Structure 1
């Protein structure tokens, strides 16, 4: 898609819509997007890749997030690209919390076609960005554009948010293109969300610590994270024994340009499956949580892709959905863009209600915000996050673990 030029919002949204159709054909969320420079040159276009080959591939592989990582990767290779404030991402669907956090963390501009009343950052169509932490709202108002849709159908709207960049000569979207963006997403949304629900329930899961060392599941875990299965807590109750693994990843996170965060994933038995640092020097949005959730999803994908239904079933029983385990952050969420991206990516990883028996799925060791402020931040998120998934980060109960990281 490179070398194309588009100086018209309608033409740009048409490219995003074509990508969304390709996503639908792939069997994933029907969303697409592209990245333009300040002259309207198409730098890259791509679509959602959450699902590949009928399997969850990467819950964070939304179009905007992938475009931003592509941008950082190209710059790291030495390619001269404009600064983020001179780049516009055009997306077929209102960005979710993960992608909004990523866009704001990088400082990009965005032009949005279709609304998303469940997970979109502008879910109430007010362009007030009340779903964002207070400190990020003005930045969003200056960089998120919702161009007018001309016509008289349910898809018509007045323009709101920021004005699209000046290189766009035409600044409106045609009704049929807007309708296409909405319908392609609606046609895929429930089917893909149901795919997140095909895992065995917690009481059916098997303990990977009982497998022999040469079992494919154990080998894959150790290849991804050599210390996998070397620590075990009581289910959902991380204790001070986790501290050395978190501290090691926190040090690595600082080496990789981060602020010293780390994220561990414990399974429903309390086994340590992985503990990841971020790679912020490679890309400003590769946080420890993004690395952790992606690594686990792609481990499962690699083991299941091409396997027989019986083999896939066995893998699902030993490597359950993370909602039945516990994500443990070294540092709790703050009110910044990367933390908001992490909370959104956590929502995309859960993609449905948390199990009633595991409400404290997301735990942190060191608080970055007072508990009431963090609760208020989560309560303001769009309906999917606050009402369906019910995101509520809680501090670990073990005082010795907190002391060990202080």
Structure 2
């Protein structure tokens, strides 16, 4: 097991992972998980893109490390509690990863900044992008070590102090530059891979396919009740209630609090309705499962396919931004909800169509709409200006009554 005893060595581990991510063709970000003695428990990199395809929009380094941690515990491994663990990341965590980190109680050491999507996008370490109740926790656990030098990459230390086992407390300027440049060199091309799907007017209705068609069979293997309900486009109604109620019940059995998330396509077809799997990992909430399952369904259908087959998959199973995510329970001001808001942004990874402004809908509110709007308005620029996350309650009163 590798051991690091200063901040520079720890960041170098994350930087090497970021280089590996660049080689893979995904976002150039890497990370590592350290115990309280500096032992590297796990190092890995972003896996959002594989083989030129979107594999999993939630596969950021920090989120993967946290799921790895919980999987190891479930398998009987002896690991220290999260408060004794430091996640080292080559790039400031996004909203999804920040929510996951805060929900789990981990410490963080951050190298490069991200002025678009980073939780410390303004460099203040006040974390005003977080709901007010989470800011003090971030201030106590997110460390931004000093980078000594005269270039644009130099900075003073801010946030929490690095953990005591670190002898050296600074990041070398070339390493900081590497972390920044690797991400900058990859982000534009990786984001472009989210925009390969046809526009809504060129989409085809999967409900017209034979039940023996490979797309339908794969869809129903993932979710047996796929295509069993249909609403008017972008208008979830009470026909979704049985699927949502069933998934909510399963969510409770699997360690959740009774949440579920459905995905409708642009025609209004029910494609997926997923519970969380928080018995596997505390951050495997219903939305995380739903967006991941859909992305990996498409990935598996396209992975070894030719261009014509890939085009067919994209026509029948379009980008989620053209459909509707329906949450049984709306977001609140907690860390897991903030994670889901961030994961939603990572799923969209670009501007929503003006014709589908209500892509994110919920049935039962968890906080007043005004409070939810304020949370979204405070998020980093990518989320509030480009994606413009704006959850809204479904209009169908019968669906609300069925879940109440």
Question: What TM-score do you get using the length of structure 2 for normalisation?
Answer: 1.00
Is 1:31 the counterpart of 2:40 in the alignment?
no
Q: Pick the aligned partner of 1:171 from 160, 163, 169.
A: 169
Q: For the residues of structure 1 that align with 2:195 and 2:279, how far apart are their CA atoms?
A: 35
* Aligned counterpart, 1:352: 350
Q: For the residues of structure 1 that align with 2:279 and 2:227, how far apart are their CA atoms?
A: 29
Is 1:245 the counterpart of 2:243 in the alignment?
yes
SS in 1 for 2:147: strand
Q: Pick the aligned partner of 1:88 from 75, 79, 86.
A: 86
What is the Cα deviation at residue 283 of structure 1?
A: 0.3
* Aligned counterpart, 2:200: 202
Q: Pick the aligned partner of 1:50 from 48, 59, 66.
A: 48
What is the Cα deviation at residue 281 of structure 1?
A: 1.4
Q: For the residues of structure 2 that align with 1:21 and 1:391, how far apart are their CA atoms?
A: 31
CA RMSD of aligned residues (A): 0.3
What is the Cα deviation at residue 300 of structure 1?
A: 0.1
* Aligned counterpart, 1:365: 363
SS in 2 for 1:30: coil
Is 1:382 the counterpart of 2:380 in the alignment?
yes
* Aligned counterpart, 1:258: 256
Q: For the residues of structure 1 that align with 2:197 and 2:242, how far apart are their CA atoms?
A: 31
> Residue by residue, what CA displacement relative to the aligned partner does 1:37-73 show, whole Å, maximum 9, x if unpaired?
0000000000000000110000000000000000000
> Residue by residue, what CA displacement relative to the aligned partner does 1:248-304 show, whole Å, maximum 9, x if unpaired?
000000001101000000000000000000011110100000000000000000000
Which runs of no fewer than 5 residues in structure 2 stay unpaired?
Answer: none
Is 1:340 the counterpart of 2:331 in the alignment?
no
> Residue by residue, what CA displacement relative to the aligned partner does 1:114-151 show, whole Å, maximum 9, x if unpaired?
00000000000000000000000000000000000000
Q: Pick the aligned partner of 1:104 from 99, 102, 105.
A: 102
Is 1:396 the counterpart of 2:398 in the alignment?
no
Q: For the residues of structure 2 that align with 1:203 and 1:181, how far apart are their CA atoms?
A: 40
Q: Pick the aligned partner of 2:6 from 8, 11, 19.
A: 8
* Aligned counterpart, 1:315: 313
| Structure 1 stretches of at least 4 aligned residues deviating more than 4 Å after TM superposition | none
Q: Pick the aligned partner of 1:276 from 274, 277, 282.
A: 274
Is 1:180 the counterpart of 2:168 in the alignment?
no
Q: For the residues of structure 2 that align with 1:146 and 1:202, how far apart are their CA atoms?
A: 43
* Aligned counterpart, 1:68: 66
Q: For the residues of structure 1 that align with 2:397 and 2:271, how far apart are their CA atoms?
A: 23
> Residue by residue, what CA displacement relative to the aligned partner does 1:175-203 show, whole Å, maximum 9, x if unpaired?
00000000000000110111111100011
> Residue by residue, what CA displacement relative to the aligned partner does 1:21-49 show, whole Å, maximum 9, x if unpaired?
00000000000000000000000000000
Q: For the residues of structure 2 that align with 1:216 and 1:7, how far apart are their CA atoms?
A: 52
> Residue by residue, what CA displacement relative to the aligned partner does 1:68-123 show, whole Å, maximum 9, x if unpaired?
00000000001010000000000000000000000000000000000000000000
Q: Pick the aligned partner of 1:299 from 277, 297, 300.
A: 297
Correspondence list, 1:120-269, <5 A: 120-269=118-267
SS in 2 for 1:35: strand
What is the Cα deviation at residue 7 of structure 1?
A: 1.1
Question: What TM-score do you get using the length of structure 1 for normalisation?
Answer: 0.99
What is the Cα deviation at residue 330 of structure 1?
A: 0.1
What is the Cα deviation at residue 318 of structure 1?
A: 0.2
Q: For the residues of structure 1 that align with 2:263 and 2:349, how far apart are their CA atoms?
A: 17
